[in-house]
Amino acid sequence: MAEGAVAEGAVPEAEPAPAIPRCGCGHDRRHHMVSPEPTYTGWGKFWVMFMGVSSIPIRLDFRCRVCGQAFDFTVDPTECSALL
């Protein structure tokens, strides 16, 4: 049998699932005790702070409110706009 081939009737091994980042207490970014902390550009800060206009952040850091650890982040614009 060729290398990497699967025998007939055998179930191929599944790829391992990617590890989900978790804080020290075991919470992931979707847990209710984890808060996203936005980072804005200079103009983004201006619009949010002085004009009260919503602005899409350039980065979101995820921080656990129990242990205080920042353990994950995203810079994907789709996720950044959806989570705020």
Token pair in block for residue 74: 């995203």
pLDDT tens across the length of the chain (84 residues): 556 565 666 666 767 767 889 999 999 999 999 999 999 898 888 888 888 788 899 999 999 999 999 999 999 999 998 876
Token pair in block for residue 29: 């970014």
Which of 11, 31, 8, 29 minimizes the C-alpha distance to 20? Answer: 29
DSSP state letter for 70? E
CA distance readout (Å), 37 to 27, 40, 72: 16, 10, 11
Give me the residues paired with residue 34 across strands.
64
CB 54 within 8 Å of CB 65: no
